Amino acid sequence: MIGIIMGSISDLKVMQEAVDVCNEFGVPYEIDIVSAHRTPLKMIEYAQSARERGIDVIIAGAGGAAHLPGMVASVTTLPVIGVPVKSSNSIDGWDSVLSILQMPGGVPVATVALNGAKNAGILAIQILGVANKEIADKLQDYKISLETKVAEMSQQAREGLPPA
C-alpha cells in the first residue's frame, strides 16, 4: 500500500495524479493531510506507524518550505518520495524543490519534478514492483504503452496529421 500525504488541501489538485496512478495500477493507497508545521505530532505518528498499517512507500507533497517529506523520512525507515508543490506562497516553486532535494546525508528523500505527483506515483509503483511480479508485469505493459503512444505520434508527424 502507498501512503499519499500532503501539507494542505490546496495540494490535492497536484497530488491527485499520484492517486490516479495508484488507481490505474490497482494498488491500494491511503490519503491524508499531514502538516509538518501545523500538526507535527500527527506527522510523527503517521510516519512512525505507517509500516504497521501496511504502508510500503510514502509519497509526501509539500509547497513553500516543504518540510513534510524530509521530516517524515527522518522518523521512518520506509522509502519517501517528495513532491515539491508550487503553492501560492512559493518562490516560483524553487523553495519547495530545494527544500526536498537538499536533504542531509543519512536522510534520503527521492525527489520528483515540481508538481510531479504522477512520476511520484509511478516511482512508488516501481518500488513495489521489485517484490511483486503482478505489479512488475503491469509496469512492463505501461512502458510498452508509452512506446506505442510515441510510435503513433511519430506516424502522425510523418503524415502531417494533427494530434489525436
The SS3 of residue 46 is helix
The verdict on whether residue 51 carries a ligand-binding annotation is no
Is 38 one of the annotated binding-site residues?
A: yes
> Helix, strand, or coil here: 111?
strand
Asked if residue 160 lies in contact with residue 154, where contact means CB atoms within 8 angstroms, the answer is no
Check whether 11 is labelled as a binding-site residue: yes
105 HSE (CA, 13 A, CB side): 0
Calpha distance 134→141 (Å, rounded): 11
Which amino acids are annotated as binding site for substrate, given as ranges? 8, 11, 38
Binding site per annotation, positions: 8, 11, 38
